Amino acid sequence: METSERLIESAQELLWERGYVGTSPKAIQERAAAGQGSMYHHFRGKPDLAVAAMRRSAAQLRAQAEAQLTTGRTAVEKATGYLLRERDALRGCRVGRMAMDPDVVASPQLREPVRETFDWLTGRLTAVIADGIESGELRPGIEPGDTAAMIVAVVQGGYVLARAADAQEPFDRAVRGAVALLAAQAVTPAEADAGAARASRPTADA
């Protein structure tokens, strides 16, 4: 593996484990088995390397999410697949964790990969929910963008609850609750049949 790749992968892991503030250039170099000169040959400094690592983590998160959101047949199955994907809640989200770091939040350069990732995820989920409403699978009363934001917030908030409790269960309860809320918004077969019957009735002349 090339030195630049080792540095990026090492930075990814350390940022996930320690956050930006707790990750020093020396720690990255030691884990990557790379010298200081090699690091500064490939990257201008810690912020430049951190952005590269965060963008790599963001791309991996998007690939995982896309896999779940294209697997199910229905909107509920797709969103449920995303929510119930197996996660180690105590490790947290490798992208979301960066939003808890004051140095990341204070830097537009460092914050941008985090913002882009959650904008993409919320938009992707919004499209899934909107498709479900349009197809008649979901009730039209729910707002796709708000529902998508809720799903993202449940996952990220679940990580916080799990880390605070030092247990997986609070995360699992949060996502189960979101799955139940989504299922409650699904149109039942009886409701779908009744709607189709109403639509097929002839209308009286005005």
- In sign, the C-alpha dihedral spanning 45, 90, 63, 179 is negative
| Mean of pLDDT values over 52-76 | 94
pLDDT-derived band of residue 188, with 50, 70 and 90 as boundaries?
confident
| Mean of pLDDT values over 51-56 | 97
pLDDT-derived band of residue 199, with 50, 70 and 90 as boundaries?
low
State the average pLDDT for the chain: 92
What pLDDT, on the 0 to 100 scale, is given for residue 24? 95
Residues 78 and 100: their CA atoms lie apart, in Å, by 28
Residues 16 and 92: their CA atoms lie apart, in Å, by 8
Q: Is the pLDDT of residue 67 over 70?
A: yes
Residues 95 and 15: their CA atoms lie apart, in Å, by 9
pLDDT-derived band of residue 171, with 50, 70 and 90 as boundaries?
very high
Q: Are 143 and 88 in contact (CB under 8 A)?
A: no
Find all residues with CB under 8 Å of 83, minimum gap 6, and list them. 151, 154, 155, 175, 178, 179, 182
| Mean of pLDDT values over 29-35 | 94
What pLDDT, on the 0 to 100 scale, is given for residue 206? 41
pLDDT-derived band of residue 97, with 50, 70 and 90 as boundaries?
very high
Q: Are 42 and 3 in contact (CB under 8 A)?
A: yes
Residues 14 and 27: their CA atoms lie apart, in Å, by 8
Q: Which residues are bridge partners to 186 per DSSP? A: 138
pLDDT tens sequence across 111-137:
999 999 999 999 999 999 999 999 999
The better pLDDT of the pair 195, 19 is held by 19
Quote the percentage of the chain above a pLDDT of 70: 91
What pLDDT, on the 0 to 100 scale, is given for residue 201? 61
Helices (H) then strands (E): counts for the chain: 10, 0
What single-letter amino acid sits at 43? F
pLDDT-derived band of residue 72, with 50, 70 and 90 as boundaries?
confident
User: What structural domains and CATH numbers belong to the chain?
Assistant: 58-199 (1.10.357.10)
Pair of tokens at residue 31: 């884990």
